[in-house]
């Protein structure tokens, strides 16, 4: 076999395997590196490895307290990991200390996402309720630095 044919065969195989890996990552889930201090007590913020199960999330599959991966409403190229703290139809108060705190009613098909570290988190308090269609997966386990169920 000459060298060109061999190279072509290798390239085709690499493309096929890459596509298979992407398919598995999009259909079933993947391990993702999470950096940033917004989820501090739960994740350290120094590049934790988190198993994210890919699931088409609907109204019946989500509940409060779930850790979800979402496309950031401010920048579609960024994924964020936040906790669902309120569901559709509920009212949230933006600042619990202020006297005339602004109350927001979460519209249909939306959820309220916040980070666990409220001081350093850009979340629904900045960009408002997030559509469920933007949620792309559920964080199930942390596998590094130590194994933990999330």
CB of 121 to other proteins, least distance (A): 17
Residues annotated as catalytic (active site), given as ranges:
38, 82
Choose, by CB under 8 A, the member of 110, 123, 137, 138 that binds other proteins: 110
| Interaction of residue 113 with other proteins, rule CB under 8 A | no
Strand partners, 146: none
Residue from 94, 133, 143, 145 touching other proteins (CB under 8 A): that is 133
Q: Least distance in Å: CB of 75 to other proteins?
A: 5
Closest of 123, 122, 93 to residue 105, by C-alpha: 93
Say how far apart CA 114 and CA 82 lie, in whole Å: 6
- When asked if residue 60 is in the footprint of other proteins (CB under 8 A), the reply is no
Asked if 16 interacts with other proteins (CB under 8 A), we say: yes
With a CB cutoff of 8 Å and minimum separation 6, the contacts of 4 are none
Parallel/antiparallel/unpaired status of strands 67-71 and 135-144: antiparallel
Nearest approach, Cβ of residue 24 and other proteins (Å) = 9
Contact (CB, 8 A) for 124 and 114: yes
């Amino acid at each position: 076999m000459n060298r060109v044919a061999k190279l072509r065969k290798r390239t085709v195989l690499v493309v096929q395997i890459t596509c298979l890996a992407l398919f598995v990552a999009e259909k079933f889930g993947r391990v993702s590196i999470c950096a940033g201090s917004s989820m501090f007590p739960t994740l350290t913020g120094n590049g934790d490895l988190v198993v994210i199960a890919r699931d088409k999330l609907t109204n019946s599959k989500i509940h409060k307290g779930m850790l979800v991966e979402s496309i950031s409403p401010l920048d579609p190229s960024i994924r964020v990991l936040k906790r669902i703290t309120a569901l559709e139809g509920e009212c949230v108060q933006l600042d619990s200390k202020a006297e005339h705190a602004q109350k927001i009613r979460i519209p249909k098909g939306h959820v309220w996402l916040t980070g666990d570290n409220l001081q350093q988190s850009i979340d629904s308090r900045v960009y408002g309720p997030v559509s469920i269609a933007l949620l792309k997966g559920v964080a199930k386990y942390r596998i590094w630095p130590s194994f933990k169920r999330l």
